[in-house]
Amino acid sequence: MSTLDLNMPKAITPAQLTRIREIIGQGPALIITHDNPDPDALASGKALLRLLQAWNVPAQLVYSGLVARAENRAMLTRLTPEWSHSESLPDLDQYSAIIMVDTQPGSGNNRLPIDRAVHVVIDHHQPRREALDHVPYVDVRPELGSSATMLLQYLDAANIEPDAILSTALFYGLKTDTRGLARGAALADEVAYLKLLGLLDHKELTQIEQAGLPREYYRAFNEGLQQTRVYGRAVIARLGAMHRPDFAAEMADLLIRLEGSRAVLCIGEHSDTLHLSLRTKPLVEEAGQLIQQVVMPPGKAGGHRSMAGGQIPLEGQSGDDLIAQIEQRFLQIIGESNSSVALLDE
């Protein structure tokens, strides 16, 4: 393996920093992310808050939905407690700027009204071009594996070295979104990973990664594996009612490791919404594009190279017929038949 230069590439110019500073104004600014935020979103928002603090611009971090996964809850409590929870956004008129991180307007995975003006978007998912047309500052780079990498570049451009807690949060966000650089990571992600590795608090990282798991977690996994079927090189898991909305993603992360699989779709219900999580092997289908073909309106979906997700409101109706249609579309796109076997012995 070649030696990497641990100095962050100057991807962010002084002109970009000046532009953001001008757009945000005197504050306060509102920083929001996608519903049920993951470590990448939590860490990226905190890093952006650190940048604004260096400019003496007051800002508030607000998320909606659940942070339910044990590791994510530990991260929220120990590393990123600056985030406030609210199922409805505060009065937006009180802020000089609305900033979206790790999400975009119109993506369907955040609470911001589609007609509401956004001032800054920083994200690494596929761009939703029409929704971004009127945003004054847009930095969307789907070639990168995490938003944490992008925010570390902003801090570096502003000559801000993150402290141990922020470094730990950014490292964990980058690590989880790229599965330790094994999924969708670019050279910039590798540089960020190694730089943060030398700055983080290893004891804190261990507390996050080894967070305690309830018995409910193991019961859910057992039931999910029982409901998983293999269609050639495609895998589908019907998870039924889920104890938390991000369980489909966690299940998909496990199932994509099945030998011989190339695409995994996990489907479950939570709070009258159908949640989908899609994973693909590298050099196979583009997960972000595939999920767009699987999820039909009024559902919303998005993602990037090897991981994607979607939500479809059920509005009190049974999801069985809808799930059957989704599975059929998925199999047709992947090129597999309806013939399947149970993952576990029947």
pLDDT at res. 109: 86
Q: Where are the alpha helices (DSSP H) in 141-214?
A: 147-157, 164-178, 187-197, 202-209
Q: Are residues 240 and 205 in the same domain?
A: no
| 124, 144 contact by CB (below 8 A) | yes
pLDDT(211) > 50: yes
Q: Are residues 194 and 257 in the same domain?
A: no
User: Would you put residue 252 in left (φ > 0), alpha (ψ -120 to 50) or beta?
Assistant: alpha
pLDDT(238) > 60: yes
Q: Are residues 68 and 194 in the same domain?
A: yes
pLDDT(304) > 60: yes
Mean pLDDT of 230-256: 93
Q: Are residues 54 and 113 in the same domain?
A: yes
pLDDT at res. 346: 60
122-127-132-137 Cα dihedral, nearest 10 degrees: 30
Q: Are residues 24 and 114 in the same domain?
A: yes
pLDDT(4) > 60: no
Q: Are residues 127 and 143 in the same domain?
A: yes
- Counting other chains too, the contacts that 88-94 makes at CB distance below 8 Å and 24 or more residues apart are 88/64, 89/30, 89/32, 89/62, 89/64, 90/30, 90/60, 90/62, 92/30, 92/116, 94/28
Mean pLDDT of 47-70: 96
Range of the domain at 146: 14-209
Q: Are residues 197 and 272 in the same domain?
A: no
Count of structural domains within the chain: 2
pLDDT at res. 3: 46
Q: What is the pLDDT of residues 141-180, one digit of tens each?
A: 999 999 999 999 999 999 999 999 999 999 999 999 998 9
Q: Does the residue 107 lie in any domain?
A: yes
Q: Does the residue 4 lie in any domain?
A: no
Q: Does the residue 87 lie in any domain?
A: yes
pLDDT at res. 5: 55
How sure is the predictor about 75, in pLDDT bands with cuts at 50, 70 and 90? very high
* CATH value at residue 77: 3.90.1640.10
Of the three residues 191, 209, 227, the one that is the final residue of a domain is: 209
Q: How far is it, in rounded angstroms, from Cα 313 to Cα 273?
A: 4
DSSP class of residue 63?
Answer: E
Least-confidence region, from 6-10, 19-23, 282-286: 6-10
Q: Are residues 223 and 259 in the same domain?
A: yes
Mean pLDDT of 114-132: 91
Q: Does the residue 60 lie in any domain?
A: yes
pLDDT(326) > 90: yes
Of the three residues 156, 185, 209, the one that is the final residue of a domain is: 209
pLDDT at res. 115: 87
How sure is the predictor about 283, in pLDDT bands with cuts at 50, 70 and 90? low
Q: Are residues 65 and 171 in the same domain?
A: yes
Burial class (CB in 10 A: 0-12, 13-18, 19+), 225: middle
Q: Does the residue 9 lie in any domain?
A: no
Residue 53 CA: distances (Å) to CA of 27, 169, 317: 11, 17, 46
Q: Which of 317, 312, 285 is nearest to 301 (CA)?
A: 312
Q: Are residues 203 and 100 in the same domain?
A: yes
| 193, 174 contact by CB (below 8 A) | yes
| 95, 61 contact by CB (below 8 A) | no
Instruction: Determine the length of the chain.
Output: 346
3-state secondary structure (DSSP) of residue 212:
coil
R_g of the chain computed on alpha carbons:
20
Q: How far is it, in rounded angstroms, from Cα 280 to Cα 271?
A: 27
Q: What is the pLDDT of residues 9-44, one digit of tens each?
A: 568 999 999 999 999 999 999 999 999 999 999 999
Mean pLDDT of 326-333: 94
pLDDT at res. 1: 31
Percentage of the chain modeled with pLDDT above 70: 96
Residue 223 CA: distances (Å) to CA of 233, 239, 310: 22, 8, 22
Q: How far is it, in rounded angstroms, from Cα 200 to Cα 325?
A: 46
Determine phi and psi for 12, rounding to 5 degrees: -110, 125
Q: In what order do the strands lie in the sheet with 228-231?
A: 300-303, 307-313, 273-280, 263-270, 234-241, 228-231, 341-342
Mean pLDDT over the full length of the chain: 92
Of the three residues 177, 209, 241, the one that is the final residue of a domain is: 209
Q: Are residues 53 and 191 in the same domain?
A: yes
pLDDT at res. 2: 38
Q: Does the residue 77 lie in any domain?
A: yes
Q: How far is it, in rounded angstroms, from Cα 183 to Cα 305?
A: 8
The residues, any chain, with a CB within 8 Å of residue 281's CB and separated by 6 or more, are 256, 261, 262, 263, 306
Q: Does the residue 120 lie in any domain?
A: yes
pTM metric for this prediction: 0.87
Q: Are residues 73 and 200 in the same domain?
A: yes
* CATH value at residue 297: 3.10.310.30
The residues, any chain, with a CB within 8 Å of residue 184's CB and separated by 6 or more, are 145, 177, 178, 282, 304, 305, 306, 307
pLDDT(189) > 60: yes
